Structure 1
């Protein structure tokens, strides 16, 4: 691995991209310490401690929300806009045509995503300014300043992520989320070290939890990379004097094709009542619902797992269409051995997707619930949850593959052997 890193640094273009990515991530981290004017950070932190969902967003933002910096909303509005555009692509025929037009169509959809990011950013910034009004200096001007500062910070992060994608290494948006989550690790390690020094934590128990954590990371990597390969045979075609086709290939269907989206959806839904109760502490109904859905309760765990399974199937059904895959195979003269082209092929692929999606959904549910279980058994405060783990591992693998592709293109041996 060290040899591969040395080879990567020897390539001038790749070295330039790595430096540019590091510089942009450093700029992102500096921005997390620039406070929004006319806000009281200590009052903000007390509100965040009462809202579970806000704590989750603070992890994604790398602590920027608890400090209420200009990057407090992080890149969350862009993620929401991307998901909305992706879902509407299936519903709106014009957008579906754009998605199939190639690079030109994707540019138009990317522009729609940018517009949606700005709109959602303004809406979310308005909601935060209302929710944190007790930590804000009184006056309408203060609210306008806070809204514009937060929306401008999100727009800048969107631009920063796109610049990393174009001139750096890997997906810029994913790397910004990755940097935000990883930046919390040193603080967590120091807090754990402080507990060990005062004897509040059993070292043997901590070692067992660490070994289990490494095993979970290995399992996440294995499932993230696992795929079901459906064999496809293409018949020979004669076009003029040339013969095309006749080769064998496969359709790679990932076990966890939904990624971390189901976990984010499920977390947002279950933590929403607690967040509202934090904003309206005098509302008895909100408070009772929040107490009923405490993360430490068994009802929360059951609902969490069921919602993850549901959203995994839902998101997979939206993003993967077996009928289109079957039609494309038939269009280019291909077939799955033993399966007739057309409708039987679509049904066959649907059965495969449903079976492996169940494995992926159960895996996501186990990973998401494992930190709660480990906290209950060990008594340790494990802040690095399943969602953060999935994001970190997924982005690390994606970035490694991007570097690998650049090195192989220049005839260097990469990380994969």
Structure 2
């Protein structure tokens, strides 16, 4: 019934068509070759093995290896986001804009677009120079993929790649404002969905036998378990009850209600998992010490992110000013100590659960069908896949469901007091 309502509601149908058309144009641009590129030579070029080239191919959707118009995919947008994050730490103006509400968000979004285009232009110059020198990205040295290496051709290629980055920015903004979901995440999901199954298939074909058949199934099971564990940790919370005293203001009574202070654990787990997985981006098999360092980075990163993001003293003072108290705990400093104690336990539990999910992804790659020095699959790739499942698929599905199930407008009241329902 919900599926039929998707196609019968005009607003939902229009947004869904805009999203699908934008993704289709994005994937078409990642297959459209640049002018002057020899498609036959690109297809026949030897691709380097290893987890780092596989991750780069995943983040560009195969466009960089094919030297397409959208060669960089959403990679400049991701890099621009991290540039602004680091800039917010160093530049007070960016830090103030991040705390200024919607106006600051609009300013940061505009700066992010400028930075993304500049990064795309700089990357275009680098890629074109590599192709001219016979060293195109994700291809072996000595590969001649350009029919002409003149100055005009190089300028044209740089202009096309820069324009492709700007076009990807426009498609992302179109999905965000007129479609479903967040544009950057959905385009990244389209890239991963196009490249990741092929990487799994290549690994299974390289080993063959029972290992090649069982290992992909075990990989899918580990991804599902890790996703379920991360979702459970992120959405779970310890709700501390808060009782507000009853007050009389004039003839009316206020307060006397019960509220809750939600304490979450495991926030910022994906950032720690991505940071720790960089230790495993090596062509050699990961050693036990390297895996232990990876787990320690995830555990400490998630714990510190949760511990530093909770102000127990501020919450206790605000509760005291509003006449609230935790049953059985005195207001003021005892309440702050109790909230800190609860938050410490919840944060530690969330950090341990996130570390188990990270080790699950690292452990599945040790299977015979997936454990190979030249395999394209790595822990970073699996972390990206899990993050897209949590931060893209689930929010988009909730957004579509909320628009399908939204309640009807209340009936309008006429002069006679009778309600008349009008079509919207």
Same fold by TM-score greater than 0.5: yes
1:183 is aligned to 2:194? yes
Deviation track 1:168-191 (CA, whole Å, cap 9, x = no partner) reads: 111111111111112235535755
Residue of structure 2 in register with 1:326 after alignment = 315
C-alpha contact (below 8 Å) 2:204/2:216 kept by paired residues: no
Superposition RMSD in Å: 4.1
Residue of structure 1 in register with 2:403 after alignment:
406
Q: CA 1:358–1:12 in structure 2 vs 1: closer, same or farther (change >3 Å)?
A: same
Pairs within 5 Å for 1:94-173:
94-129=93-128, 133=133, 134-135=135-136, 137=146, 138=149, 143-173=154-184
Residues 217 and 152 of structure 1: is their aligned pair in 2 closer, same or farther, counting only changes over 3 Å? same
Using the TM superposition, give the Cα deviation of residue 13 of structure 1 relative to its aligned residue in structure 2, in angstroms: 0.9
> Is the partner of 1:385 in helix, strand or coil?
helix
Aligned to 1:16: 14
CA distance in structure 1 between the aligned counterparts of 2:307 and 2:155, rounded to whole angstroms: 41
Corresponding position: 1:302 with 2:292: yes
Q: Are 1:67 and 2:66 matched, yes or no?
A: yes
- Where 1:181 maps in the other structure, the secondary structure is helix
User: What are structure 1's unaligned runs of at least 5 residues?
Assistant: 272-289, 413-417
- 2:414 maps to which residue? none
CA offset digits 1:170-218 (Å, max 9, x no partner): 111111111111223553575578679x746465666555545543443
**SS of the residue 1:29 aligns to:** helix
Query: How do residues 215-226 of structure 1 correspond to structure 2 at under 5 angstroms?
Result: 215-226=225-236
Tell me whether 381-390 or 54-63 shows the greater mean CA deviation.
381-390
Unmatched segments (≥5 aa) in structure 2: 137-144, 410-424
Please tell me whether the aligned partners of residues 233 and 335 of structure 1 are also in contact (alpha carbons under 8 angstroms).
Answer: yes
CA distance in 1, matches of 2:210, 2:38: 33
Change (3 A) 1:204 1:51: closer
Structure 1 residues 206 and 28, CA gap change in structure 2 (3 angstroms): closer
Which is helix-richer, 1 or 2? 1
Q: Which range moved further: 23-32 or 71-80?
A: 71-80
TM-score, L = length of structure 1: 0.74
Q: Does 1:249 align with 2:259?
A: yes
Name the CA distance, whole Å, in 2 between partners of 1:96 and 1:221: 30
Alignment coverage as a number of residue pairs? 388
Q: CA distance change for structure 1 residues 307 and 222 in 2, over 3 Å: closer, same or farther?
A: same
Do the aligned residues in 1 keep the contact of 2:212 with 2:369 (CA within 8 Å)?
A: no
Which residue in the other structure is 1:281 paired with?
Answer: none
Secondary structure at the aligned position of 1:17 is classed as helix
Counterparts of 1:2-401 in structure 2, within 5 Å, are 3-38=1-36, 49-50=48-49, 52-86=51-85, 88-89=87-88, 92-129=91-128, 133=133, 134-135=135-136, 137=146, 138=149, 143-187=154-198, 191=202, 199=209, 201=211, 203=213, 210-233=220-243, 247-268=257-278, 271=281, 294-313=284-303, 320=309, 322=311, 326=315, 329=318, 333=322, 335=324, 337=326, 352-380=342-370, 383=377, 385-401=382-398
Q: Matched residue of 2:72: which SS?
A: coil
Q: Is the 8 A contact 1:234 1:332 kept in 2?
A: no
Mean CA deviation greater in 130-139 or 299-308: 130-139
Q: Kindly tell me: are residues 333 and 95 of structure 1, through their superposed partners in 2, closer, same or farther at Cα, counting changes over 3 Å?
A: farther
* Larger displacement relative to structure 2 (68-77 or 381-390): 381-390
Please state whether the residue corresponding to 1:113 is helix, strand or coil: helix
Matched position secondary structure for 2:259: strand
Residue 254 of structure 1 and its aligned partner are, at CA, apart by: 3.9
* Residues in 1 aligned to 2:305 and 2:71: alpha-carbon distance in whole angstroms: 28
**1:123-178: CA deviations, max 9, x gaps?**
44445455664236555555544444333323222221111111111111111111
Give 1:73 shift: 2.0
Q: Deviations over 1:88-119 (max 9, x none)?
A: 54665544443444322321222222222223
Distance 1:352 1:159, change over 3 A: farther
1:207-265 superposed Cα distances (whole Å, 9 cap, x missing partner): 55554554344334323432343444556678898776654433444433215223333
Cα gap change, 1:336/1:150 in structure 2, threshold over 3 Å: closer, same or farther?
Answer: farther
Worse-matched range after superposition: 10-19 or 68-77: 68-77
Q: TM-score, normalised by structure 2?
A: 0.73
> Would the aligned equivalents of 1:326 and 1:341 in 2 still touch at CA under 8 Å?
no
SS in 2 for 1:170: coil
| Distance in 1, Cα, partners of 2:390 & 2:106 | 28
8 Å CA contact 1:98, 1:106 repeated in 2: yes
Task: Give the Cα separation in 1 of the matches to 2:53 and 2:129.
Answer: 14
